[in-house]
Amino acid sequence: MSDILPLVISALEDACSTHTPPEVLARLKAGEDIALEALNLDSLNRFEAIMRIEEELDVELDESDVSNQETVHALAKHLATIAARR
């Protein structure tokens, strides 16, 4: 997960919009485990983050791979499991 967490943080950070509260964005950048819901990503932002993660990890994700995770760290851990299977 150590290699995947920075990727997930970067992809989510790039996908954040003006709807993401500045304090939440600062916590994300600091690597804190925050709720994905707190990022206030709309469907397009979420899609952009997923596409970047898929490209970087060379995997294909279902929406459920992301939507079933509650926090940034849980998402990174889940993605590490998926990446390990390929």
List pLDDT tens digits, range 14-31. Answer: 999 888 999 999 999 999
And the tokens for 78? 């889940």
pLDDT band (50, 70, 90) for residue 52: very high
Residue 1 has pLDDT above 60, yes or no: no
Reduce the DSSP state of residue 54 to 3 states and report it: helix
Mean pLDDT on 1-10: 87
Domains and CATH numbers, the chain: 4-85 (1.10.1200)
